A and B are shown apart, each in its own frame.
Chain A
Amino acid sequence: MKTALKQTLCMSALLGLGAAAYPVSAHHSTTMFAHDKVVSISGVVKEVHWTNPHVAIYVEGAAKGDKPATWVLEMTSPGNLMRAGTWKRNSFKPGDKVDVDMAPLREGGKGGALKKITNTESGMSLNANLREQEGVVEK
């Protein structure tokens, strides 16, 4: 067995992170997204999963010059989104036309961490930045 693979498996075993432990959502880090990059798409909302611990919006859309595809945009929890702005479960609904900025998946799939979403008809725009609420601490 190659050393790197062997090391990875040993570490995984130590942490109890065998393959069987993988198939769930739950609380997870977001470093599978390239936070130093922004991908912008325009499209139509297909589904909204207003669920814990990560809300998701599915958008049928495309980046400029790209083919349309279904993108999965992940966010934090409903409670956190409410506190991060004026999010509600129906802020965005299937059928809404939207522009989206996201930190894309590093591995190149059609997904990303949502940074900003704008309803192109109403102009209503929301982000998912929890840190904006932290100003009180500095007072």
Chain B
Amino acid sequence: MRNVRREVMALLGISLLPGVSMAQGIPGTPGTKPAAKPVINPPPTAKDWADIAKLPDWSGVWTHVRSDQDRQMKTNPPPWNEKAAKVIEWQYAEERAGRPPPLFQNCLPEAMPAWMLVTHNAMEFAFYPGRVLMLGESDSARLRRIYTDGRGHTDDPDPTFHGESIGKWDGENLQVDTIAMHPQNYIAISEAQGIPNGGDMHIKERMYLAKPDVWADEMTITAPKVLTKPWVTTRIYYRQRLRRLDIVEGTCLEGYFKPAADKDGYPTWEKVSHDPYGNRTPPK
């Protein structure tokens, strides 16, 4: 009972420690530190919206250039450390044997930086005052959120799949600084070659239009646990504007199932069997 009371009081923000006022932190209370003024995101002004119109035109649907991804595997591989290089060598051998290592089969986000490096799905951009959103076709609504409102990185942010991205427009370029990514996130050069970054990864990006319909992401990836030096690599995407090619929903887990009917005849999803490498199993 005592524990329950303690938890309820804690939830209400009431301290059980002697000598500590429940009013601690309230401005004007003698002997207490005034609470920091909360930071708010102000509502966008008409000028903020007008400034959006001055940014480069990144509208349309952007699809990765697959042949360039393939080329870069050979021409600009990451500077893997010795341990990682051995794993990569094993992964190549497995692929040659027809057993591609299933890096992304769990349907968790490909995450940063693998999304930008090896995606096989299109994306689009949305500009709002104070942020740039990247909306991918995969993983239902894969999202990167890049803050461009002048803020810096937060203190000790929680690690996430896409990390904490702070952007700054520099003329036609968007400079992005990303930290706080899960150590499990792959630095991948294909869907079958990649190494978890291991932590302390830092990514700097310069995003820009290399040509009117070619968007480029020049990345400098620093990952001291698996790379011997920062890896500079660029990925390119091409633009399409046909309405019939607009982004569609793409839910990764959908591939587990096929449409079926339950015992009462209602539509349902039925599991589909797959081989160890992610391919649907042919019926025996």
Contact = CB atoms under 8 A, between A and B. Distances in A.
A24 B273 CA distance: 8
Contacts, number: 192
Contact of A29 (B192, B196, B248): B192
B279 A32 contact: yes
Given A82-B245, A111-B282, A130-B66, A26 B258 contact: no
A27 B110 contact: yes
B242 to A, nearest CB: 9
Given A22-B105, A23-B276, A28-B191, 17 more contacts: A14-B87, A16-B184, A24-B107, A25-B105, A26-B107, A28-B102, A28-B104, A30-B100, A32-B275, A77-B137, A77-B138, A80-B121, A105-B282, A109-B275, A133-B63, A133-B240, A134-B66
Interface in A29-60: 29-34, 47, 49, 51-54, 56, 58
A70 to B, nearest CB: 5
Contact of A11 (B90, B103, B282): B90
B258 A49 contact: yes
B278 A51 contact: no
Interface of B: 61, 63, 65-68, 87, 90-91, 95-96, 98-107, 110, 120-122, 137-138, 184, 190-192, 195-196, 211, 213-214, 236, 238-240, 244-245, 247-258, 272-283
Q: How would you classify the secondary structure of chain A's contact residues: helix, strand, loop or mixed? A: mixed
Contact of A70 (B67, B240, B283): B283
Interface of A: 7-8, 11, 14-17, 19, 21-34, 47, 49, 51-54, 56, 58, 69-72, 74, 76-80, 82-83, 105-107, 109-111, 130-131, 133-134, 136-137, 139
